[in-house]
Amino acid sequence: MLADDPLGSRREVWSGSVANGYAEAFAAIDADPNNELVVAVIDEVIVGMLQITFIPYLTYQGRWRALIEGVRVSSGVRSQGLGAAMLQWAIERARLRNCVMVQLTTDRVREDALRFYERLGFVPSHHGMKLHL
């Protein structure tokens, strides 16, 4: 599913020693109580996923934030409400953890994703920046 879109198909590889990196990342996420990897399953097949990370901040009176990353929905089940249901679940999970906000990033070329997040109430309030190492 990570490679099931134009961007992911160029950067996600599942072979040889690279596969070990995914396994190590999964183990680290699984061991961290402030990280959750969530999957959506239909007929025993994983068709959606996201990662939610809970982060303490010194701003907003020391409240926590939830960061949503790695949102993926299999191409065969897109536009059927699954992505919205997953995000609503994650937002409710953040509320249960007493987070002050939920934030996420998406690549600027993902125009459909940008519209999708805005329909769910997210606003493009900041400019995200990255430095690949």
> Is the pLDDT reported for residue 2 higher than 60?
no
> Is the pLDDT reported for residue 14 higher than 70?
no
In CATH terms, is domain 34-119 a member of 3.40.630.30? yes
pLDDT digits (tens, 9 = 90+) for 24-39: 889 999 999 999 999 9
pLDDT of residue 97: 96
Cβ–Cβ < 8 Å for 107, 128: no
Residues 79, 75: Cα–Cα separation, whole Å: 9
pLDDT digits (tens, 9 = 90+) for 76-130: 888 899 999 999 999 999 999 999 999 998 888 888 889 999 999 999 888 888 8
Q: What are the boundaries of each domain within the chain? A: 34-119
Cβ–Cβ < 8 Å for 100, 55: no
